Amino acid sequence: MKSPIGLTVVSIVLTMSPILACGDTPPPKTASDTKPAPTAPPPAARLPEKAPDSPTASAVRISDEIVHACGISPPDAYFAFDSSNLRPDDTRVLDQVAVCFTTGPLKGRQLKLVGHADPRGGSDYNMTLGQSRADSVAKYMLGKGMDKGKTDSSSRGAMDATGGDEPSWARDRRVDVMLGQ
């Protein structure tokens, strides 16, 4: 007759045998293992102290020239990692820009939109993501009556990125809204 302790040991060894058979190979990383934990960015010029905790967060940085000419309050949001979606809060400031460029003091002027990305990812990917962000803002502005011929979107990808951690990367993910030439 076998002892209960012996059966327990055999049972544990048999249960663990698939794990032991894997040897030194670690399990593959999942998406949740590789995503950085969200943190609040430090204060920056005309940007909020904390990025919103939203999968659709965005950032629209309006140039001082447009802010002054149109009487706009500074925008306050960031693009989420790997996103080009606009938030409802951003559309409020974009509506003000659209009115200023269609019927206000900057009527008839050129609007330049430049998309940016943080430095993670390859250069082609970051250029494409920056362009997608700029195009997202352009599409919204065209829907508000902006003339397509007066709206120019481009990307700088991660070329101007200065971040080295999540708070500073959040500031790198944006669209700059400027007067065009």
pLDDT digit string, tens, across residues 15-42: 333 333 333 444 444 444 444 443 333 3
Task: Report yes or no on 74 lying in a domain.
Answer: yes
Domain count across the chain? 1
Residue 97 has pLDDT above 60, yes or no: yes
Task: Report yes or no on 9 lying in a domain.
Answer: no
- Long-range contacts of 139-142, Cβ-Cβ distance < 8 Å, separation of 24 or more: 140/86, 140/91, 140/94, 141/94, 141/97, 141/98, 141/101, 141/111, 141/113
Considering the chain, what is the average pLDDT of its residues?
74
The domain that holds 166 is classified in CATH as 3.30.1330.60
Q: CA-CA distance, 87 to 160, in Å (whole number)? A: 23
Q: Where is 3: in which H helix or E strand?
A: none
Read off the amino acid at residue 49. E
pLDDT above 90 coverage of the chain, percent: 41
Assign residue 13 a region (left: φ > 0; alpha: ψ between -120 and 50; beta: otherwise). Answer: alpha
CB-based burial label for 66 (10 Å; 0-12, 13-18, 19+): buried
Q: Could you tell me the pLDDT band of residue 3, with boundaries at 50, 70 and 90?
A: low
Predicted model pTM = 0.66
Residue 166 has pLDDT above 80, yes or no: yes
Average pLDDT over residues 129-153: 95
Residue 83: give the domain boundaries: 59-181
Q: Could you tell me the pLDDT band of residue 151, with boundaries at 50, 70 and 90?
A: very high
Task: Report yes or no on 160 lying in a domain.
Answer: yes
Task: Report yes or no on 6 lying in a domain.
Answer: no
Residue 124 has pLDDT above 60, yes or no: yes
Task: Report yes or no on 46 lying in a domain.
Answer: no
Task: Report yes or no on 71 lying in a domain.
Answer: yes
Which pLDDT score, from 0 to 100, does residue 75 have?
Answer: 60
Looking at per-residue confidence, does 51 or 99 come out higher? 99
Q: Give the tens place of pLDDT for each residue, 39-89.
A: 333 333 344 444 444 444 557 788 889 888 998 876 644 566 777 878 777
Task: Report yes or no on 37 lying in a domain.
Answer: no
Task: Report yes or no on 148 lying in a domain.
Answer: yes
Average pLDDT over residues 93-110: 95
Instruction: Give start and end residues of each alpha helix (H) in 50-161.
Output: 64-70, 88-102, 123-143
